Structure 1
């Protein structure tokens, strides 16, 4: 549901700017990479425009540009159907007329509270041209009269933030999804951490936590009460828990007639959770309520994207095999009296349209014996998987961390593989509560906090 849009007074605008500056100051003292801190500073120090049609829009784009730009000139480009804007600070950008008309911000074209475009494609003339272009307010605005009689105004800030150049688009991309920082065993020396009580009360702490989760894929939350229900409490600050056939939350503890190997004291190889689901849970939370105090029980964690980059650089042919060969994963059992049979097919390493890793589906425990490929390709696939596994198991590429009671490990389940060393039940029990989040909700909350946290 989209937030209601408000006209911002000058005083309200100043409060927001001060809040963003305070947020930026806090963030630059964290363990985020230098490049990421730079990106945050650029995103957080932007200035919104207190104008009827230029207040914060559905993308919160006003936070991405720099404060108060003005135009030196705005006129028709002599060689194309575009508006040419020369900035008072230097530089020039072109804005296609069809894009400007499509994005008119007047109440007839853009709904002020739903933040939605009202103009339809049927009404959009792809060959639209202006009859007049005039700057106003000392270069802070440009007014366009269109051939169809419509009148539009655009602010310099609004145009500058949406300019068709790499710097503007990089700022937007950083706001959409900050760049990731990959890691190996060195992460153990500086584990990203957060305080549970602070996350419940402090929006800046919550923003930092969510931002770090996107960047590193792993954060340890400390000082959590050692009782059930705390994952729900934290989730109320972020969004909603994602239910699966194991429920909204699940208990990781030694159980009689266990329906999951995690519900035993056996060791667990590194894996991603629930690859047998079409929508694999994006983020996993594991809250340690009771810890086993003998030998064993340590969590083993690896950045599979880091391992994947090593694989593609050293064995590109094997990387190709793991990204193109489809594998069946399954889960069959009974939970709370309900039978389930989950089944899905996907490659071990999924890549996006740019060839970058976007998900790793590695789980030997639930990889099916049905293998829908030709017999002559099986040995090569096992060889590729074995090579990937050796990279993951290299001591330089993973960490071991024994959770303290009151810890919550929060990690990207599509990226960070996790396992566990076995332990002897004769020396005590180990009780964890788990749950899942979705990236869409987490990123939505982070973006909102990026604008409003104070």
Structure 2
């Protein structure tokens, strides 16, 4: 049986089910009220500022009625109902993650074992079936990448892929870019050389968080695509040498691109990026675009380079890679904050033509959340 207990001054309450005690501060509860005077019924945005809530807010009464907790606040003498499911879903009274580099339960890191169950969907299915689109976007959110097959073999078909979830992010390369062999290329991506696994555009701030690569022609030998989970790389580095993990997370690297007229792009970010509470939120690794590293103290530079070298060795380890060949009408998407991608070298015989573009994870996550909400509503 669930009990609700107030502390003596009402500054917080405790929900106790006999096994777990979960506390909520009065000011947090009041700030997260969903009554009509506090939140817009149309969009859920707050109608008041924190300064409109008395600083001395406390709970004067709390009553459990079925699956609802009714709370009365002083000094406003205002009563608000909370769904117990919402409270427990948003509870913050829980053990903190103590190790730097933790990831959310919704994130699944991987190595080449994922080859046996690649995240993949059919273009026709995701274009016509919201449930199929939800599953595919969910794979991208969980694994950081996914393939799409049986798409149209036509120029700019990748725009139809992005339209499934969001919007193209235009850069100095344009709304899209061509990937095929060129004479005197401005970027090594346009040659037949193999490329080390990397995240794209680390010299931008912020980086494009989604990259789409769409195959239109692929008769040249070689050129298989590879992806590597940067989060698993970081986890492996931390397990091998925590000091190396920490030094790459503590200090910024410099990234730069100046390969075409009127463009000099620069950023200063760590190769392993953590949130203030230690959550692993990003990896930036691109040997072609790393500029002189100048923010590491002299006494730690040797350690930094040892860590940088080892990170590259882990990335290059075949046990970390998932590889696949894209045929015309196929594409893949990567979360560019997390998943590194690469390409094996290909010969000059035959043709190889890809088109690429950038988008962002916020629109992808938004579309996924909408589809999940609609699915839950339909199931009720």
* Shift, 1:222, TM fit: 0.5
Change (3 A) 1:192 1:81: same
* Shift, 1:101, TM fit: 3.1
Segments of structure 2 that go 5 or more residues without pairing to the other structure are 98-102
Aligned equivalents of 1:92 and 1:355: distance in 2? 25
Contact 1:188 1:399 in 2 (8 A): yes
The range that moved more, 368-377 or 296-305, is 368-377
Aligned equivalents of 1:380 and 1:146: distance in 2? 56
**TM-score when scaled to structure 1?**
0.73
Aligned equivalents of 1:211 and 1:244: distance in 2? 27
Aligned to 2:187: 260
Aligned equivalents of 1:319 and 1:287: distance in 2? 34
Q: What is the total number of aligned residue pairs between the two structures?
A: 371
Aligned to 2:11: 81
SS for the counterpart of 1:111 is: coil
Contact 2:208 2:336 in 1 (8 A): yes
Contact 1:268 1:421 in 2 (8 A): yes
Q: Counting helix residues as a fraction of each chain, which structure ranks higher?
A: 1
Change (3 A) 1:415 1:127: same
SS for the counterpart of 1:183 is: coil
* Shift, 1:93, TM fit: 4.9
SS for the counterpart of 2:33 is: coil
**TM-score when scaled to structure 2?**
0.85
Q: Deviations over 1:111-139 (max 9, x none)?
A: 21131222333331132345665666x67
* Shift, 1:196, TM fit: 0.8
The range that moved more, 284-293 or 112-121, is 112-121
Counterpart mapping for 1:146-185 below 5 A: 146-163=74-91, 165-166=93-94, 179-185=106-112
The range that moved more, 363-372 or 241-250, is 363-372
Do residues 329 (structure 1) and 255 (structure 2) align?
yes
* Aligned counterpart for 1:306 among listed residues 232, 247, 250: 232
Q: Deviations over 1:388-426 (max 9, x none)?
A: 22222222111332212221111122222112122222x
Counterpart mapping for 1:144-293 below 5 A: 144=72, 146-163=74-91, 165-166=93-94, 179-293=106-220
Aligned equivalents of 2:75 and 2:264: distance in 1? 61
Segments of structure 1 that go 5 or more residues without pairing to the other structure are 1-70, 171-175
SS for the counterpart of 2:174 is: coil
Aligned to 1:107: 36
* Shift, 1:348, TM fit: 2.2
* Aligned counterpart for 1:395 among listed residues 318, 334, 337: 318
Aligned equivalents of 1:301 and 1:179: distance in 2? 20
Q: Deviations over 1:422-448 (max 9, x none)?
A: 2222x1121111112212211111111
Aligned to 1:96: 25
Do residues 364 (structure 1) and 287 (structure 2) align?
yes
Q: Deviations over 1:24-56 (max 9, x none)?
A: xxxxxxxxxxxxxxxxxxxxxxxxxxxxxxxxx
SS for the counterpart of 2:264 is: strand
Aligned equivalents of 2:92 and 2:314: distance in 1? 41
Aligned to 2:70: 142
Aligned equivalents of 1:165 and 1:158: distance in 2? 14
Aligned to 1:51: none
Superposed CA RMSD in Å reads: 3.1
* Shift, 1:189, TM fit: 2.0
* Shift, 1:306, TM fit: 1.3
Aligned to 1:352: 275
Q: Deviations over 1:306-364 (max 9, x none)?
A: 12222121122322332234322111133xxx621111122222222233432221111
Q: Deviations over 1:168-194 (max 9, x none)?
A: x99xxxxx9652222222222221111
* Shift, 1:102, TM fit: 3.0
SS for the counterpart of 1:418 is: strand
